[in-house]
């Protein structure tokens, strides 16, 4: 029998009856947790439930606010609410906001049973759709400048858009002088700072309409116009924004630049894959080894951190086998050295995949994209056992 995971969010006194009735259900195995509203988001990230039931008797207004804010980060998470049921407008309002059910107080067994049946049906449907719907956050990172992080982030976004795997967002998280916009010759009108300032009223439509849509079919969110703007963003705000992006895009590819900052660490924490870029020379290799160890200490193991060897076959390169031995891990992808096509693309403000389609480097990006698509995302890894 499948286990369903449900969070009851709010005051104990509003939800005790629901808890009792859920325990009587015999047709499904249900794991329930009571969670106070302030810790709801953290618990949602930890537990990844199939349903949230809010208790709205005591303070309907603050519950409404909480629902709106949770919906931004967990757009597809079904939710229901327990309300005192005296005010029709309140009930209608919850349905308009997207509730799958509104349970009247005092809650009865039949109502809870109906809700669980609805949930099982929804869950089955989602599992069906989920087979071809992935959501992944990918970080492109290195602790050494000039190794090709931006080139890789840009061309990976292009490749994923070409492979038509849903909505793609290319995110520039190099808050001090990021240059993704220059690589693609797009005007950074709406930046990460604007997203943060408008976050309370932001929904997927507004976000999509605000972002630059590149002619090759992916969305771009450039870094703030003024470098110091990024300093005012807290880690908590960053995490919420990144979850919001994950809820709204199938793949988010972020150029993280070269430093461990509160922004990059917030993203690395949530990322499904970290592409750690190195080049085949001694300074870069030592740098990568130290970054790889730091990432390990931060808790990101080899299943998450993938080494990308860029500028492979460059004149005088260290043999890849030596690189693997030094890092004690295998290379996830090799991208060949191609200064001529890279320079030409940069000068045109176009992605190399658009200007040098048949090149060996373009093939390398194609293979990298295919590997990323083939990798299971976090959600699949942590799927609820049936």
Ligand X SMILES: Nc1ncnc2c1ncn2[C@@H]1O[C@H](COP(=O)(O)OP(=O)(O)OP(=O)(O)O)[C@@H](O)[C@H]1O
Residue 248 touches which member of Mg ion, ligand X, none, C-beta under 5-8 Å by kind: none
Query: Can you tell me which of 338, 350, 351, 368 binds ligand X, judged by CB under 6 A?
Result: 338
Measured CA to CA, the distance from residue 169 to residue 267 in angstroms comes to: 14
151 binds Mg ion (CB under 5 A): no
Q: C-beta of 47: minimal distance to ligand X in Å? A: 37
Cβ closest to ligand X, residue 142 vs residue 266: 142
- Among Mg ion, ligand X, none, the one that 14 touches (CB under a kind-dependent 5 to 8 A) is none
Residue 136 sits in the site that holds ligand X (CB under 6 A)? no
Report the residue number, 150 or 333, with the smaller CB distance to Mg ion.
Answer: 150
Q: Does 335 participate in binding ligand X (rule CB under 6 A)?
A: yes
188 part of the interface to ligand X, by CB under 6 A: no
Kindly state whether residue 150 participates in binding Mg ion, applying the rule CB under 5 A.
yes
4 forms bridges with which residues in the sheet? Answer: 30
Q: Which of residues 207-246 bind ligand X (CB under 6 A)?
A: none
Q: Work out whether 106 is an interface residue with ligand X (CB under 6 A).
A: no
Residue that is written with structure tokens 């890789």 in the block:
152
148 touches ligand X (CB under 6 A): yes
- Interacting residues with ligand X between 257 and 276 (CB under 6 A): 257-258
Is residue 159 a contact residue for ligand X (CB under 6 A)? no
Q: How is 338-353 classified by DSSP, letter by letter?
A: -HHHHHHHHHHTS-HH
Distances (CA, A) of 309 to 160, 269, 271, 280: 19, 23, 20, 7
Taking CB under 6 A as the criterion, which residues in 295-324 touch ligand X? 310-311
CB nearer ligand X, residue 273 or residue 310? 310
**Distance in angstroms (rounded) separating the CA atoms of residues 331 and 324:** 7
Say whether residue 278 binds ligand X (CB under 6 A). Answer: no
- Cα radius of gyration (the chain): 23
Number of H helices, E strands in the chain: 17, 13
Q: Which strands, in side-by-side order, build the sheet including 273-278?
A: 212-213, 219-221, 168-172, 251-255, 136-141, 273-278, 305-312, 331-336
CB 214 within 8 A of CB 220: yes
Report in angstroms how near the CB of residue 258 gets to ligand X at its nearest.
6
Contact between 339 and ligand X by CB under 6 A: the answer reads: yes
Nearer to ligand X, 298 or 343 (CB): 343
Is 175 an interacting residue with respect to ligand X (CB under 6 A)? no
Alpha carbon distance 329, 380 (integer Å): 24
358 binds ligand X (CB under 6 A): no
Peptide bond preceding 300 in cis form (omega within 30 of 0): no
Give Cβ neighbours of residue 180 (< 8 Å, ≥ 6 apart). 150, 153, 154, 170, 172, 174, 220, 222, 223, 255
Question: Interface with ligand X by CB under 6 A: which residues?
Answer: 145-151, 257-258, 310-311, 335, 337-339, 342-343, 346, 361
Question: Interface with Mg ion by CB under 5 A: which residues?
Answer: 149-150
């Amino acid at each position: 029998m499948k286990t369903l995971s449900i969070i009851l969010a709010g005051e104990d006194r509003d939800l005790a009856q629901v808890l009792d009735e859920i325990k009587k259900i015999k047709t499904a195995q249900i794991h329930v947790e009571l969670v106070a509203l302030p810790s709801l988001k953290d618990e949602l990230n930890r537990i990844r439930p199939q349903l949230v039931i809010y208790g709205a008797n005591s303070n309907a207004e603050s519950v409404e606010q909480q629902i709106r804010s949770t919906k931004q980060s967990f757009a597809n998470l079904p939710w229901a609410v327990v309300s005192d049921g005296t005010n029709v407008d309140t009930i209608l309002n919850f349905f308009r906001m997207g509730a799958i059910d509104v349970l009247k107080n005092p809650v009865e067994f039949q109502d809870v049973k109906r809700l669980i049946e609805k949930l099982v049906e929804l869950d089955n449907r989602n599992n069906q759709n989920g087979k071809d719907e992935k959501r992944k956050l990918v970080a492109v990172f290195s602790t050494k400048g000039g190794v090709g992080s931006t080139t890789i982030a840009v061309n990976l976004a292009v490749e994923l858009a070409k492979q038509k795997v849903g909505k793609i967002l290319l995110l520039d998280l190099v808050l001090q002088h990021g240059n993704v916009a220059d690589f693609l010759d797009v005007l950074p009108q709406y930046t990460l700072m604007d997203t943060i300032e408008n976050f309370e009223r932001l929904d997927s439509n507004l976000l999509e309409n605000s972002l630059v849509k590149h002619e090759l079919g992916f969305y771009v969110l450039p870094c703030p116009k003024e470098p110091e703007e990024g300093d005012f963003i807290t880690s908590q705000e960053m995490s919420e924004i990144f979850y919001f992006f994950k809820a709204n895009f199938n793949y988010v590819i972020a150029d993280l630049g070269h430093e461990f900052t509160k922004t990059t660490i917030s993203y690395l924490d949530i990322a499904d894959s970290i592409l750690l870029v190195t080049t085949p020379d001694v300074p870069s290799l030592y740098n990568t080894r130290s970054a790889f160890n730091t990432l390990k200490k931060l808790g990101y193991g080899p299943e998450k951190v993938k080494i990308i060897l860029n500028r492979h076959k460059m004149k005088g390169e260290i043999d890849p086998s030596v690189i693997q031995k030094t890092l004690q891990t295998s290379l996830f992808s090799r991208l060949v050295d191609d200064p001529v096509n890279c320079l030409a693309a940069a000068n045109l403000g176009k992605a190399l995949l658009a200007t040098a389609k048949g090149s060996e480097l373009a093939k390398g990006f194609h293979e990298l994209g295919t590997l990323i698509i083939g990798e299971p995302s976090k959600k699949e890894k942590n799927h609820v056992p049936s």
